[in-house]
């Protein structure tokens, strides 16, 4: 019972339900590669890869940041600093999730298996970047952005440069909303010699950087539509994504971060799902 309780606390700690951020983009990459729905075998193992990779990355992040979380009032109630989980248990969970990820990657094709340690290295390295660079937001963006390219490789066994456009779009999208999220810790990060864009350039300037990143994301999504010869349904989806992004930027400001969680979790979850649904509908309509 104690182990089951610890697993439950771990799943809550890593917010496994927030896999919704990257999973729809991975599924988009898979559908673009397959020109429709992938084979159920491929789809199943892609989903397993996404969930286990993210679980390993999030658990490792909580393990690596336990001491930092303990001195930050916003994060001091997280499972490890609060004494709900031991660092050893979280480390074992991380290793198990990483092992399951590599196993799942091996069920797809040889290239996904060979590249699985590289993907893990990127995911785990992110946890240390805020100690060394203000651009850690871009590394987090890359961690999620590799999802569509990885899914393409899972289907095709090779990489097409066109899917990299979607990877960079996701990179900019994630980096932009992570800049927002880091605003709430700007003063704490400066005090404890941690790096972030808000801590370095100030919250007001950080908002402008987030806006630029999200404009670049939208431009890349439009380019992706052209590269893959998608139709009006996909374009409509990008318009809706732009509306949701605009709303996200309107409900928070440098002077009022009170609705930051709504912008970060709710709106970005909606953005990824909306994008996938419209691109998938476009692909399925054209292939029918």
Q: pLDDT tens digit string along 101-121? A: 999 999 999 999 999 999 999
- Residue 262: CB atoms within 10 A of its CB come to 13
Reading the block at residue 49, the tokens are: 């890869």
Determine the Cα–Cα distance for residues 288 and 270; give it in Å rounded to an integer: 27
User: Which residue(s) pair with 253 in the sheet?
Assistant: 256
Alpha helices in the chain (DSSP H): 2-13, 23-34, 40-64, 66-70, 87-106, 110-129, 136-156, 161-182, 186-191, 197-201, 203-227, 232-250, 260-261, 268-287
Residue 151 lies in a domain: yes
Residue 5 lies in a domain: no
Determine the Cα–Cα distance for residues 52 and 94; give it in Å rounded to an integer: 9
- Check which CATH number belongs to the domain holding 175 and give it: 1.10.357.140
Check residue 179 and give its pLDDT.
94
Specify the number of domains making up the chain: 1
Check residue 211 and give its pLDDT.
95
Determine the Cα–Cα distance for residues 105 and 110; give it in Å rounded to an integer: 8
Residue 8 lies in a domain: no
Residue 233 lies in a domain: yes
Whether 181 and 188 have beta carbons less than 8 Å apart is answered as no
Model confidence over 16-53: pLDDT tens digits? 555 667 899 999 999 999 999 999 999 999 999 999 99
Whether 79 and 93 have beta carbons less than 8 Å apart is answered as no
Determine the Cα–Cα distance for residues 95 and 85; give it in Å rounded to an integer: 16
- Tell me how far CA of residue 216 lies from CA of 137, 205, 222, in angstroms: 15, 17, 10
Determine the Cα–Cα distance for residues 247 and 32; give it in Å rounded to an integer: 28
Residue 54 lies in a domain: yes
Domain that holds residue 68: 19-287
Determine the Cα–Cα distance for residues 278 and 3; give it in Å rounded to an integer: 41
Check residue 15 and give its pLDDT.
67
Whether 188 and 72 have beta carbons less than 8 Å apart is answered as yes
Residue 2 lies in a domain: no
HSE-up (13 A, CA, CB side) for residue 7: 6
User: Residue 79, exposed/middle/buried by CB under 10 A (0-12, 13-18, 19+)?
Assistant: buried
Residue 41 lies in a domain: yes
Identify the segments of the chain with pLDDT beneath 70.
1-4, 6-20, 262-264, 288
Determine the Cα–Cα distance for residues 139 and 6; give it in Å rounded to an integer: 29
Radius of gyration from C-alpha coordinates of the chain: 19
What does the buried/exposed string (b/e) look like for 26-50 if buried means 16 or more CB atoms within 10 Å of the residue's CB? bbbbbbbbbeeebeeebbebbbbbb
Check residue 132 and give its pLDDT.
92
């Amino acid at each position: 019972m104690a182990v089951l309780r610890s697993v439950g606390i771990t799943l809550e700690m890593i917010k496994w339900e927030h896999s919704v951020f990257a999973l729809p983009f991975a599924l988009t990459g898979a559908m673009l590669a397959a020109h429709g729905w992938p084979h159920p075998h491929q789809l199943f193992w892609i989903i397993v890869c996404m969930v286990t990779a993210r679980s390993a990355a999030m658990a490792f992040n909580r393990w690596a940041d336990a001491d930092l979380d303990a001195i930050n009032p916003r994060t001091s109630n997280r499972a490890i600093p609060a004494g709900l989980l031991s660092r050893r248990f979280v480390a074992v969970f991380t290793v198990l999730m990483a092992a399951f990820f590599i196993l799942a990657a091996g069920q797809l094709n040889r290239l996904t298996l060979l590249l699985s340690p590289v993907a893990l290295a990127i995911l785990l390295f992110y946890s240390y970047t805020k100690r060394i660079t203000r651009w850690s937001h871009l590394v987090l963006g890359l961690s999620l952005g590799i999802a569509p390219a990885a899914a393409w490789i899972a289907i095709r066994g090779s990489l097409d440069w066109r899917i990299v456009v979607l990877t960079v779009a996701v990179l900019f999208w994630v980096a932009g909303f992570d800049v927002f999220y880091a605003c709430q810790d700007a003063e704490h990060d400066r005090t404890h010699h941690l790096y972030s864009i808000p801590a370095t350039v100030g919250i007001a300037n950080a908002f402008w950087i987030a806006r630029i990143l999200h404009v670049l994301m939208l431009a890349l999504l439009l380019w992706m539509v052209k590269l893959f010869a998608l139709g009006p349904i996909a374009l409509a989806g990008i318009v809706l994504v732009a509306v949701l992004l605009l709303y996200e930027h309107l409900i928070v400001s440098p002077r009022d971060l009170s609705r930051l969680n709504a912008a970060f979790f709710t709106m970005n979850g909606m953005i990824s799902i909306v994008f996938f649904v419209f691109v998938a509908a476009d692909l399925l309509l054209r292939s029918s």
